[in-house]
Structure 1
Amino acid sequence: MQHVWREGNRVTLLPEASCFLPAMFDAVSQARYYVLVELYLMESGKLADQVCDALIGAAQRGVKVYLLLDGYGAMGLGRPERTRLQQAGIQLRLFNPIGFHSLARNLSRDHRKIVVVDGEVAFTGGFGAVDEFLDAWYEIAVRMEGPVVADWEKLFRRLWRSRLTRAEKGNLTTAGLVTQRAPERYADGVKGRVVSARGYRYQAIRHSLYGRVSEASERLWLCTPYFVPTFSLRRRLARAARRGVDVRLLLPGSEHDHPGVRYAGQRYYQALLKAGVRIFEFQPTFIHAKFVLVDNWVSVGSCNFDHWNLHWNLEANQELESETAANDVGALFERNFAVSQEVDAAAWAARPWGQRAREWIYGLLNAMVTRLK
């Protein structure tokens, strides 16, 4: 789904958990009417406890709290935490719990990350409520105020309603959502829109990215943790580099939660390097962030731009057209490039056969998984 572009938004870039977690907890602590949270990952641990405490604190003040979790991504959230949340009056729903039905249905996941408070402020990014985000994974988020908040809230509400049982739909006073509140519009705000995807048939995020990559004139910088791009994206990246665009990829280094995915993506390095694409592998930690900068266009959100996300998952990104936002994201990229190792084209062409074998094996496995459609 592709919402319209909306003027009058205030957007704050929040790099690293040390920035976005306090901002989100502060927003929840000031909630007066309702809090909506939609996450893919939530597992028992320190961060999950902090999230539970914040949501329970809001509920105890009389705020309506709604928590929507993916049925697979939340399998690690224990019964004690779920009981605490529900006993505090928080409404908890699961998207598509794993069951004895079709493989395709089990593979479809809610990968979005949405936090909305009082219809006034929203957050998105690649975050989750697992302890890795406290110190082991590098992630970013954006805080939004203005008309786009209403579009983020509509995404949540649409999916929440689809999770209600027939009985609950007949008694919305107990299971339904509170009335949506309209956000403010700011005269000094920037232009933004929400784009979302739901499986293979609804890929507004992919089409939007492809269009921007094809039209890039100066810079095209992309960060993704799981670089297994489609043929169309690889071709567009190479073409952009050949016509003189500064094309750079910021990808994870050896610190990766799924090393096989890294190897599968590395088999594309040589062709991209030959076309003039620069590739940087982040060294400090595993970089889990997903953000793109094309000239003065920015996209931040949940989508990894890989085959799997684009084919199976519910995803959502915040797009911005703003010189200020682009400069902020560009500066963030530069800081991350500085602590990354750039892949040398000549050295990569001479890489050992062991590395090539890993690329081939994991590339074959990825191709087999991709055909599960």
Structure 2
Amino acid sequence: MHGMWRDGNHFQLLPEAACFLPAMFEALEQAQESVLIELYLMESGRLSAALVASLVRAAERGVTVMLMLDGYGAMGLSSAERARLEAGGVALRFFNPLGFHSLARNLTRDHRKLVVVDGKLAFTGGFGTVDEFLDAWYEVAVRIEGPVVADWVRLFCRLWDSPLTRGSGRPSLVHDLGTRLETREGYRGMRGRVVWGQGYRYQAIRHSLHQRVSGARGRIWICTPYFVPTFGLRLRLARAARRGVDVRLLLPGELHDHPGVRYAGQRFYGRLLRAGVRIHEFQPTFIHAKFSLVDDWASIGSCNFDHWSLHWNLEANQEVDDPRFATEVAELFERNFDASHEILREDWARRPRWQRLKEWLYGSLDGMLTRLR
């Protein structure tokens, strides 16, 4: 599902943790009324310790602090840090803790990433609170001001008091919060909307991308760490390239946290290359970012292009339709293309047999996962 397109926003692209982490922590330290945080990954380490300390400081000065974590993604958060959060006045809830119920329910995870301060300033992207984001993984976030922030808050509130969410934080906290929110419609700015997926077979983000790709005129640039695209997306990308659209993929190289996913996606390289799609594998670090650019439309958020994101997870992206923001995103893509190895069609056709075997093996496993739907 998606929110309404709203004018009057301001979006700032924050590439790399060196940009977005200081901006987020500064916003947390300046919070006066409320802090809402929704994350998939949170593991004990340097980054989690800094976040816990910042949230406790906010709660001590009277800010309503609500932290919602995924029940599986937060399994690495120590009991000591959980206790410190609760003792410090932070309302803590967990989405869908693992249990002895249906497989589909256990597979559905809250993969969204969101920070909202005072109902006026928000951040989203692909980040989490694990130390890999400090230096080992490349990530991108967007800073959000304007009317769409209220849509992000509403999305958070619906999940906070969901029957699938458990914890010490009172579900009714969001009802108190809602009365204090303000939507600022009185100034012009960038056009944007929030688009989200609600778990099993709910694919609004994919449908939005398909629509943009099918209507693209000049460029389709996609960055995703887990590229195992559906047949529908592969078909649309190939068709766009054949009609002369500049179609490029920015994907991870050998530095990858799940190499098998990379091999499963590489089995599609040949057909895409023959259609004219250009494929770049990022070299400096593991690129964990998820952002897309189609003409002047951009999408940044939590959603990957694999079966898990598209069929099981709760995901959310910020879409922006603005030429100024598109220019920023395009410049970021260009810098990352320059730091990548381009896979050429003739070289790929000569790849060794062991590479083809890995593609077949992991592609078969991916096919089995697809049939779980």
TM-score grouping bracket, smaller chain normalisation: over 0.9
Return the letter of the residue paired with 2:295.
D
Deviation at 1:100, TM superposition (A): 1.4
1:129 aligns with 2:129: yes
User: Quick check: 2:96–2:164 contact (8 Å CA) kept in 1?
Assistant: no
The equivalent of 1:316 in structure 2 is 316
Return the letter of the residue paired with 2:251.
L
Q: Which runs of 5+ in 2 are unaligned?
A: none
Deviation at 1:200, TM superposition (A): 3.8
* Per-residue deviation, residues 226-259 of structure 1 (Å, max 9, x unmatched): 0000000000000000000000000000000000
1:219 aligns with 2:219: yes
Deviation at 1:120, TM superposition (A): 0.4
Distance 1:69 1:182 in 2: 25
Counting only pairs closer than 5 Å after superposition, residues 82-97 of structure 1 correspond to structure 2 as 82-97=82-97
Q: CA RMSD in A?
A: 1.8
Query: How high is the sequence identity, in percent, across the aligned residues?
Result: 66
Counting only pairs closer than 5 Å after superposition, residues 73-152 of structure 1 correspond to structure 2 as 73-152=73-152
Counting only pairs closer than 5 Å after superposition, residues 224-263 of structure 1 correspond to structure 2 as 224-263=224-263
The equivalent of 1:17 in structure 2 is 17
The equivalent of 2:328 in structure 1 is 328
Distance 2:70 2:243 in 1: 42
The equivalent of 1:182 in structure 2 is 182
The equivalent of 2:354 in structure 1 is 354
Deviation at 1:188, TM superposition (A): 3.7
Aligned-partner SS, 1:162: coil
* Per-residue deviation, residues 256-279 of structure 1 (Å, max 9, x unmatched): 000000000000000000000000
Please say which of residues 57-66 and 185-194 is displaced more in the overlay.
185-194
Return the letter of the residue paired with 2:209.
L
Return the letter of the residue paired with 2:187.
A
Distance 1:168 1:218 in 2: 50
The equivalent of 1:367 in structure 2 is 367
1:33 aligns with 2:33: yes
The equivalent of 2:302 in structure 1 is 302
The equivalent of 1:342 in structure 2 is 342
Distance 1:166 1:234 in 2: 39
The equivalent of 1:279 in structure 2 is 279
Q: Which runs of 5+ in 1 are unaligned?
A: none
Change (3 A) 1:167 1:189: closer
The equivalent of 1:56 in structure 2 is 56
User: Quick check: 2:93–2:165 contact (8 Å CA) kept in 1?
Assistant: no
Return the letter of the residue paired with 2:191.
K
Change (3 A) 1:315 1:180: farther
User: Quick check: 1:65–1:90 contact (8 Å CA) kept in 2?
Assistant: yes
Please say which of residues 347-356 and 194-203 is displaced more in the overlay.
194-203
Change (3 A) 1:356 1:160: same
User: Quick check: 2:197–2:314 contact (8 Å CA) kept in 1?
Assistant: yes
> Structure 1 length as normaliser, TM-score?
0.97
Aligned-partner SS, 1:122: strand
Distance 2:267 2:279 in 1: 13
Distance 1:42 1:220 in 2: 32
User: Quick check: 1:248–1:278 contact (8 Å CA) kept in 2?
Assistant: yes
User: Quick check: 2:32–2:118 contact (8 Å CA) kept in 1?
Assistant: yes
Tell me the number of residue pairs that the alignment of Structure 1 and Structure 2 aligns.
372
Distance 1:67 1:80 in 2: 16
User: Quick check: 1:161–1:176 contact (8 Å CA) kept in 2?
Assistant: no
* Per-residue deviation, residues 197-235 of structure 1 (Å, max 9, x unmatched): 012442111110000000000000000000000000000
* Per-residue deviation, residues 308-350 of structure 1 (Å, max 9, x unmatched): 2110000000001000000000000000000000001101001
Deviation at 1:180, TM superposition (A): 4.0
Distance 1:3 1:340 in 2: 35
Distance 2:199 2:86 in 1: 31
> Structure 2 length as normaliser, TM-score?
0.97
Change (3 A) 1:292 1:108: same
Distance 2:166 2:254 in 1: 48
Aligned-partner SS, 2:161: helix
Distance 1:363 1:289 in 2: 23
Deviation at 1:168, TM superposition (A): 9.3
Change (3 A) 1:343 1:120: same
Change (3 A) 1:199 1:335: same
Distance 1:231 1:165 in 2: 34
